[in-house]
Amino acid sequence: MSKYSKLSILEIHEKLVKREITVLDLVTDTFEAIRESSNLNAFITLNEEAALEEAAHLTDIDEDDLLYGIPIAVKDNICTKGLRTTCASHMLDSFVPIYDATVVEQIKKHHMVIVGKTNMDEFAMGSTSRTSYFGAPLNPWNPDRISGGSSGGSAVSVAAGVVPFALGSDTGGSIRQPGSYCAVVGTKPTYGRVSRYGLIAFASSLDQIGPMSRNVYENALLLNALVGYDEHDLTSAKKDEEDFTRLIGKDIKGMKIAIPNYFVSDIVNPEILEKLNQVVDLLKSCGAEVSYIDIDYLEQAVTLYQIIAMGEASSNLARFDGLRYGYSHPNSTSLEELYAKTRAEGFGSEVKRRIMVGSYLLSGENAVKYYDKAMKIRQSMRDSFLQAFQQYDLIIGPTTTTVAYSQSESLDDPRKSFMDDVLVIPVNMAGLPGLNLPIGFDHDHMPIGMHIIGNDFEEAKIYQLASFIEKKLNLDLDSKGGQHHE
């Protein structure tokens, strides 16, 4: 844990401005914290030499930029120029990008210091981060439990107090679910809000980069830096930049909040429902209106996700053929053999399974039978959400159906991985913004998260409610190196 982890970004910035500490102090301490917590396996590649050199030159503190000189970790499927980017795969074990992703350019404009690339599920395909070629990251609240995924390393690096910020990506809950398991605030912005340029694609119509942080205000602060139209991303939204912190601290009296009945059905652990109900009681006592509603096709969301995500993944990963970049089988006697052996050896079993299923789903008449039909139902689900937002300000529910479970639990059943994300996948399908907020702990002191969903481009309203609840609950989110379980 960094010795600065107890300080807010505002407090750190004040110390930098007053010259009580330097950026080099911050970054040096961060690498010490990374080494101390190396057993958690949060990082794949460190950027120590370059980060320390950069930090040494960051002496002219920008008093108006709270992010200036702040260390940040970046998920290893986001391209970083000159810094290895593996997607946690043997296929890209030695890949070094020649350009920065747009989000990396954005954080560099604020002179944030990238300390390393975080561990994840291979090509972001998984919900545990256990499909990583480099071994699984461990949950800092209890290293015997999973971190969640696919942005497991990013969640762990923040939850362990190593860095105040990390970037993740979210295709079917991959920021919010590990956020819930590790007690981290994680946001999936509206689809198109943050550029995907430089994100190594999994499922292009679902992927979205977002911020992970220790608290709500700092999450909104980082999102401020990430957003903006990007001509390199054809799905980038032409929206004006805004201050996502602007509603933080405002009262929620009169706010209309909906809870989909499916989100509080018997698929959810009773302890999680109990914590959510306590928050609902709190909201009602503070003047918010809470209603229970139905949203169409929520029960089919996982099936739709499997069809769409696997289909798009099979297309996106076709580029890894052993010819252009990445792993290439050394002893092939024909082009066909090169393709086959490169992909057989370069990809892990879960990635290969999804490619094969996706290829089947897109082949011939199956594309119409499955993919096209799934996309139509997906639109109907989105329409149902949008209809709800005509009456309600926000939608809430649990983020996950269980708390983080054992690292030793079998991965043989592929359905288990998808069911871990059953409550967060619908938001990706609808393209809406969603945030995980820690709201308490179960009997084993494992974190429980609450999911707050907003209408298109209404992240500021999500932050308003999240910060209100956060302040009322005032939780201690220090994982204490897993000491709660010793």
Q: How many CB atoms lie within 10 A of CB 16?
A: 23
- Identify the DSSP state of 201: P
Determine the Cα–Cα distance for residues 135 and 124; give it in Å rounded to an integer: 14
- At 64, the amino acid letter reads D
Are 446 and 269 in contact by the 8 Å Cβ rule? The answer is no
- Residue 341 annotated to the active site: no
**Given 174, 180, 195, 314, the catalytic residue:** 174
Q: Per DSSP, what are the bridge partners of residue 137?
A: none
Catalytically annotated residue among 150, 180, 236, 314? 150
Maximum distance among all Cα pairs of the chain, rounded to whole angstroms: 72
User: Collapsing DSSP states into helix, strand and coil, what is residue 35?
Assistant: helix
Structure tokens at 396: 């809430």
Distance of CA 69 to the CA centre of its chain: 23
User: Identity (one letter) of the amino acid at 245?
Assistant: T
With CA atoms as reference, report the closest residue to 75 among 110, 28, 107, 109.
Answer: 107
Nearest to 224 by CA among 483, 440, 28, 9: 9
The residue type of 424 is V
φ, ψ at 218 (rounded to 5°): -70, -30
202 burial type by CB count under 10 A (0-12 exposed, 13-18 middle, 19+ buried) = buried
Between the CA of residue 320 and those of 36, 98, 343, 356, 484, what are the distances in Å?
36, 17, 7, 14, 43
Helix (H, G, I), strand (E, B) or coil at 11: helix
Phi, psi for residue 474 in degrees, rounded to 5? 50, 55
- Residue 283's φ and ψ, nearest 5 degrees, are -65, -40
Q: Are residues 216 and 96 in contact, defined by beta-carbon separation less than 8 angstroms?
A: no
174 is catalytic: yes
Q: What is d(CA 101, CA 217) in angstroms, rounded to the nearest whole number? A: 24
157 is catalytic: no
Contact 391, 303 (CB under 8 A): no
Catalytically active residues are 75, 150, 174
